[in-house]
Structure formats: structure tokens, C-alpha cells
Structure 1
């Protein structure tokens, strides 16, 4: 019986630790500054793939940018590069108001 209790205790401790980790990860990912930096860097490095759009929750626009990049043989990836620079040059407050509250999907 003690093995079963020990197994249950270990399971409950692991569950608690995983829950705390998930909570902290969500809080970190949801912070405005982290989204701004992540979206900006991804826009500059992988702009044509539209990954920065997916990070901000603009799934439709991300797919549009990906398809446009494929159809233009990569030329449309300049849009993602420019957006990445714009994201990184905005203040945290401007970024939050424009892209998270205002939901402005392009430039």
C-alpha cells in the first residue's frame, strides 16, 4: 500500500509542478514586451513565412503572407522584414495599442 501512496504523491507533485510551469510560461508569453520582441525578430528573420503574424494571433494574415511569398518567389517576404523593423521600433505602449488592442494586421 505504501508504494501506491508514494506513486500518488509523486504524481500529484509532478502535476503541481507542471501546472506552475504552464502558468508561468503563459504569463511570460502573454506579456506585451515579449510578444513585441519575438514578433519583431521573427518578422526580420522569417518574414516571408508569416510566423510573426501567427505569434500575434493574425492567422489569416499569416497564411496570406505565406502564400504571397510562395507566389512571388520570395519577393513578398520584404513585407515581413519591414513589419519586423516597425515592431521593434515602436514603444511597448504603441505596440500594445496598435497590434493587440487595435488589432491592426498590416503595417
Structure 2
């Protein structure tokens, strides 16, 4: 005998109505099946997630790889502004976008 679904098409229709999402009967049936599968999988994970199993955010440990912060060769102000289409008072001049003065 098959298990009774935890999520019915009526449940999905109610949620879709609350969210103002129009769904066909076929979409409701597919969504009910998908949500029921998700709930079943969450239940399976909950069965093995006991207090002696530490919580993890990633299956393998992650470490940041940092390079040393070393000052290198940089452009002078004049060199940086040399390729700019417009500049004013040693700054890049860009078009106004917010309508402010």
C-alpha cells in the first residue's frame, strides 16, 4: 500500500492562492509530488542527523588562501587620467545619473 502524501494538491492550491500564483491542475499535482519528495528527503536526513553528528556548512573543509599584501608598481594620477574621456580637478568626470546637483 503506498504511503499517504504529506502534501496534497489542495494544500498546494491553498498556498498558490495565498501567494497569488495561478496554477493549473496539472501544475498543482506536479508541485504536490515535488514538495512531498522534498519533505520525505528532509525527514530521511533528520533521521541520521543526531546530536553526535556535528553540523556542517560544506562537505569538505574550506580554507582561505591569502597572498602577502605587498605594495607594487602603480599608476600615477596623470597616467590613470590619461585614458579617461573626461576629467576635472584631477578626478574622473562621469555623467550625472541621479538627477542631483
Question: Fold conserved (TM > 0.5)?
Answer: no
TM-score, normalised relative to structure 2: 0.29
Structure having greater relative contact order (Cα 8 Å, sep ≥ 6) = 1
Greater Cα radius of gyration, structure 1 or 2: 2
The structure richer in helix per residue is 1
TM-score, normalised relative to structure 1: 0.27
